[in-house]
Structure 1
Amino acid sequence: MTLQAWPYPALFAHRGGGYLAPENTLPGMAEAVARGFHAVEFDVKLSSDNHTFLLHDDSIDRTSNGRGLAARMTLAELQQADAGSWHGSRFAGTVFPRFAEVARYCQQHGLRANVEIKPCPGRDRETGEQVAREAAQLWAGQPVPPLLSSFSWEALVAARDAAPHLPRGWLVEEWPEDWEARLRELGCLSFNCDYLILTAERVAAIKAAGYRVMAYTVNDADRARELLSWGVDGLFTDALDSLREAILRQD
């Protein structure tokens, strides 16, 4: 089966700044730009008052000085928290950004985006639908749309139905034997896998079926080169300070 066009670079900065900046923040995106990255991955979920914003966890405890479940907090309450000081004093005052702010930043700085739909428990369908609709509006007229991905099957189905023209990637941690049928059902462009479950044979099979392969989260240069040699199309990395340069030197 013929591979679909792939308009994304080989390296994506994981959660924006990897381990060099507070994750899922505008300073993280700025770190990616400063390190020469041309693509970022980040997580989007809904506040209690249905605003889209960036956060990986269900609670804000780990990545801010606040406490609480995001699903129970309004955007105004979320943005009262300091989402940067935990990573370093120079990031003090950083807030959880809105999806629209990050979309604008990506477009202003030429960053391709992998938007991971990260629903709070029980909000899969509404999150997938709203993130997809907003992504379609925010990137309208742009030459390269964002790639929408999720571990949530329900969220990706909702995203497919809400914005069928946007590319999608199905995220998995364990290998599903029915992967081809499920990718076909979702209408995916890519299969986004934990790199630990990938083999050269599996990558070849995915690509022969017409899908692209992305691997997370790859921080070792030797493993990155191996995955790329197998034909993996994209790598998510936290190692913004070393992996890009290591791969470029190899080339």
Structure 2
Amino acid sequence: MTANLPSWPYSRYIAHRGGGRLAPENTLAAMRVGAAHGFTMFEYDVKLSSDNVLVLMHDDDVDRTSNGQGPAAAKPYAELAQLDFGGWHSAAYAGEPLPTFAAVARYTVANGIASNVEIKPCPGREAETGRAVALAARQLWQGADTAPLLSSFAEEALAAARKAAPELPRALLVEKVPADWRERLAKYDCVALNINQKDATRELIDAVHAAGYRIAAWTVNDPERARLLLDWGIDGIFTDELAAIRPAA
């Protein structure tokens, strides 16, 4: 069944937001924790600051993951760089800065770590962010052994990424698996479908493979569920539980 599948040079174990629950998400500190737990692939979120610097952040607002307040889209990089993105997690990470996409790219490439780059645009900046992430990824991973996998819930961002750097692999992220998933994957020339693990079944995995695509599931935090999905042949699982669900476990 794998004969018609696109290349998948990625680990089946993917550290969610770099360090899962063990470190402040989307930071270089998180990446180092993920690497220390044996992970060779990270997922992380990238968006634009108000002055168009690509940075790692999941939420539209900085409130949850920093000591600041307000929408990220309204803040220039110099302001974001002054915030503490680690203290909310634990005292051990107090003072951890917000990393740029470029810094994380350098770290992962230098250490042989693959990336699932989730394009996470601020509202209204979907196409702009998709294009910026794709062009930056093309440059930052030039000559690297493994290209980053670009994914997004925002289909406008995925379309813009495809137009800007068609050679980079893409995955469609979905909250719920749509009936027309085949058509959507074809529309954005994707290699994979990234689904909520609750929707994962052996039948769906087989159907996605039969259609010529890869499939990964987020966020798998129960070790038994992880083993089951891997037994069913899923291509990747995103996890927060880096100690319990990892390549060496």
The alignment's TM-score, normalised by the length of structure 2, stands at 0.97
- Counterpart residue number, 2:184: 182
* Residue pairs, 1:54-203, within 5 angstroms: 54-203=56-205
CA-CA distance at 1:146 after TM superposition: 0.2
Secondary structure, counterpart of 1:228 in structure 2: helix
Q: How many residues align?
A: 247
Find 2:49's aligned residue among 47, 50, 53: 47
CA-CA distance at 1:36 after TM superposition: 0.8
Determine the C-alpha separation between the residues in 2 that align with 1:76 and 1:125.
24
Find 2:237's aligned residue among 235, 238, 241: 235
Determine the C-alpha separation between the residues in 2 that align with 1:141 and 1:187.
22
Q: Sequence identity of aligned pairs in percent?
A: 55
Determine the C-alpha separation between the residues in 2 that align with 1:234 and 1:84.
28
Unaligned runs of 5+ in 1: none
Determine the C-alpha separation between the residues in 2 that align with 1:170 and 1:101.
25
Superposed structure 1 runs of 4+ greater than 3 Å apart: none
Determine the C-alpha separation between the residues in 2 that align with 1:67 and 1:203.
41
Determine the C-alpha separation between the residues in 2 that align with 1:202 and 1:10.
17
Determine the C-alpha separation between the residues in 2 that align with 1:109 and 1:86.
27
State the AA in 1 paired with 2:109.
Q
Q: CA RMSD in A?
A: 0.9
Determine the C-alpha separation between the residues in 2 that align with 1:233 and 1:60.
32
Unaligned runs of 5+ in 2: none
CA-CA distance at 1:107 after TM superposition: 1.1
Determine the C-alpha separation between the residues in 2 that align with 1:50 and 1:72.
11
Determine the C-alpha separation between the residues in 1 that align with 2:223 and 2:101.
31
Determine the C-alpha separation between the residues in 1 that align with 2:110 and 2:117.
17
- Counterpart residue number, 1:208: 210
Determine the C-alpha separation between the residues in 2 that align with 1:224 and 1:90.
29
Secondary structure, counterpart of 2:73 in structure 1: helix
State the AA in 2 paired with 1:220.
D
Determine the C-alpha separation between the residues in 2 that align with 1:142 and 1:72.
33
Determine the C-alpha separation between the residues in 1 that align with 2:224 and 2:26.
27
CA-CA distance at 1:47 after TM superposition: 0.3
Answering whether residue 40 of structure 2 is matched by residue 22 of structure 1, we say no
Describe the superposition over 1:106-151 as per-residue Cα deviations: whole angstroms up to 9, x where unpaired.
0121110000000000000000000000000000011110000000
Determine the C-alpha separation between the residues in 2 that align with 1:190 and 1:3.
10
Determine the C-alpha separation between the residues in 1 that align with 2:177 and 2:215.
13
- Counterpart residue number, 1:4: 6
